[in-house]
Amino acid sequence: MTYQQTMSKINDRRKQMSGLRAEMRELQSAIEPEEVEDYTFTTPDGPVNLRSLFKDKDTLFLIHNRGKSCVNCTQWADGFNGVLDHLLDRAAFAVSSPDSPQVQREFAEGRGWKFTMVSHEGTSFWPGVSVYRKDGDRIVRVSDTSFGPGDDFNCIWNFFDMLPEGADGWEPKYSYT
């Protein structure tokens, strides 16, 4: 197939994906929120509850990852710095991991992370993201999904998809020097 023929087919698929995203947003807008408890997390300054992570916003993105031991989770977190200010303009944002608050602080400082971090050590959080809203005195979850290689939450995979061989077995590293 010629370059032009191939790109035409790829662009058709991108249009299909855009249509699917529009359908997903429509479904999302009709979701019945699920009430959740006001979870307690730990920080270097002591315990904080879920409600406090909203700060002055009505909506919260809470990333829950596997912490320092997960190179994939670290790669995602590295990418959040680049979009953090844009996200914070619309909603609150925090990252939780099972690492102790001290381990989180040291690791975050070493990587230059700017976002709020809390520890969910000993809880049932899973890798991914949840979106919460304040609803009067209640906190409700309005969306959640998992993270994994190839997902839409880390743009590196979309760039690699443009290579003829794709990611070709590539794995993230903690350092490339």
The listed CATH number (3.90.930.60, 2.60.200.20, 3.40.30.10, 3.40.720.10) that belongs to domain 33-146: 3.40.30.10
Buried b (16+ CB within 10 A) or exposed e, 67-103: bbebebbbbbbbebeeeeeeebeebbbbbbbbbebeb
Per-residue pLDDT of the chain (177 residues; tens, 9 = 90+): 999 999 999 999 999 999 999 999 999 999 999 999 999 999 999 999 999 999 999 999 999 999 999 999 999 999 999 999 999 999 999 999 999 999 999 999 999 999 999 999 988 777 789 999 999 999 999 999 998 888 888 889 999 999 999 999 999 999 998
